[in-house]
Amino acid sequence: MAGFGKLRVAVIGAGAAGLCAARHLLSRPDTFAPPVVYELTKNIGGTWVYEERIGCYDNGLPIHSSMYRDLRTNIPKEVMSFPDFPFAKHLPSFVHHTEVRKYLEQYCDHFRLWDHIQFGTSVASVTPVDVKGGWNELAWNVTSTDGLDHSKSTTERFDAVMVCNGHFYDPYIPAIPGLEKFKGTLMHSHEYRSAEPLAGKSVVLLGAGLSGLDIAMELSNVDAKVILSHGQRPLTCPLPPGVQQAPPVTSVLDDGTLEFKDGERAKPEVFLFCTGYNFTFPFLDEKVGVNVQEHLVWPLYKFLIPPAYPSLFIVGICRAICPFPHFHIQSQFVLSVLDGSFPLPSREDMENDIELDIAARRARGFATRHILKLDSEQWAYNDELAHLGGFQPLPRYWSNLYESNKVFRARDMLNYKTYNYTVLENMDWKVHDLHGQQ
């Protein structure tokens, strides 16, 4: 597909996904001009840039990161890292979030990414333009504004765009009848920074995903009385002291009492939503036809490419995945599409592929809002992309170690972060707890 000179690629966002995209584009100076990475904040790292404040930055833009003060990762560093750049050896397997930010800064140093990032620059619009005779007959106008006062607006033209704007910053709050009648403190995990302000309080925490469980444990440590309300099967692993389970909250009564699905009631001081986030692409021209519906972003071939505009790539929207390696695989796949080593099917064939894939997921019982959850299917997805793009798949131990951590976490949520992993020379691995028990 290349052949009209070096391809210019815009990257939106300098979180882990955008940095990974830039790293791979820079590794191919034969085909790609140095990328332009637009970043609305003054830092790289996105999610991993802890902000004590909630609400807005000084410039009025909403705070992006949902990081909380004491967070340690829920994936061991041995498989959380980009495969071509391990975390420092001396660190434990489950690191504090500050170490992840440092790691990403080291990644920028190592792959010389800094000079290609335009900080304080917010992408306001991404619009396809016809360029007859040009590469792919299509280009993109990317308009950005100076993040400080939005006064300066600049438009640049690119051959392709990699959208890496993240999806953990726009809180999703489910519609609960009567919610406006709740009289206590209503908050979302996006605004949660530390447990102390909730010490000793009664809290109904809605959602038992990774953040919900983690925050329930933090609240238990400050003697909060937590009702963990969720729609999954009841958790069977030991729960932290002071935490009990309940089915989902179905309504809020006139006096502000919460009613649960089983008819039980509670009137907590705090109602804390750990219910996830919305996808938003506010800068994307409607013409591109990317829809967001009940947490599903579609139509996207291989969860990446809108068939009508196949030089735009939305990186990292899959959920329940091992993010950094996933970005590493997707970025290389994008390069293989752009350099022509993987010729894309026709628009019609891509659309059929998407329909079949979504139908197959529905047939396996996935509700629309869960279709992007790859979970254990991520490994087959990664391998497929590596095969199609003709590049190295992830090392074999990766999936096994990651899946084992999931089992340990489900069995022992209170202690799994005390485990340490070692990858052996033969690419096998072993795990031991802090007392050296294997």
Footprint of ligand FAD on this chain (CB under 6 A)?
12-18, 38-41, 46-48, 64, 66-67, 71, 73-75, 80, 122-123, 164-166, 168, 211, 283, 316, 323-324
Smallest separation, CB 321 to ligand FAD (Å): 9
Closest to ligand FAD by CB, 48 vs 333, is 48
Smallest separation, CB 34 to ligand FAD (Å): 18
Nearest to 327 by CA among 21, 75, 11: 21
Secondary-structure breakdown of the chain: helix, strand, coil percentages, each rounded to the nearest 5: 30, 25, 45
Closest to ligand FAD by CB, 39 vs 78, is 39
User: What is the rounded distance in angstroms from the CA atom of residue 382 to the CA atom of residue 379?
Assistant: 5
Smallest separation, CB 376 to ligand FAD (Å): 16
Q: Report how far apart the first and last C-alpha atoms of the chain are (Å, whole number).
A: 51
Nearest to 97 by CA among 246, 211, 231, 230: 211
Smallest separation, CB 1 to ligand FAD (Å): 26
Which long-range CB contacts under 8 A does 98-101 form with residues at least 24 apart? 98/50, 100/45, 100/48, 100/73, 101/45, 101/48, 101/49, 101/50
Closest to ligand FAD by CB, 63 vs 179, is 63
Closest to ligand FAD by CB, 80 vs 113, is 80
Closest to ligand FAD by CB, 168 vs 429, is 168
Q: At what angle do helices 97-110 and 16-26 cross, to 10 degrees?
A: 20
Smallest separation, CB 320 to ligand FAD (Å): 11
Please answer whether residues 222 and 199 qualify as being in contact, where contact means their C-beta atoms are separated by less than 8 angstroms. yes
User: 315: which 2 tokens?
Assistant: 């990186």
DSSP conformation class of 209: S
Closest to ligand FAD by CB, 68 vs 182, is 68
Task: Please list the residues that pair with 401 across neighbouring strands.
Answer: none
Please answer whether residues 281 and 271 qualify as being in contact, where contact means their C-beta atoms are separated by less than 8 angstroms. no
Smallest separation, CB 16 to ligand FAD (Å): 4
Closest to ligand FAD by CB, 135 vs 379, is 379
Smallest separation, CB 145 to ligand FAD (Å): 9
Please give the torsion angle defined by the CA atoms of residues 32, 38, 39 and 44, in that order, rounded to the nearest 10 degrees: 10
Nearest to 285 by CA among 419, 387, 139, 169: 139
Please answer whether residues 69 and 194 qualify as being in contact, where contact means their C-beta atoms are separated by less than 8 angstroms. yes
Smallest separation, CB 181 to ligand FAD (Å): 29
Closest to ligand FAD by CB, 201 vs 319, is 319
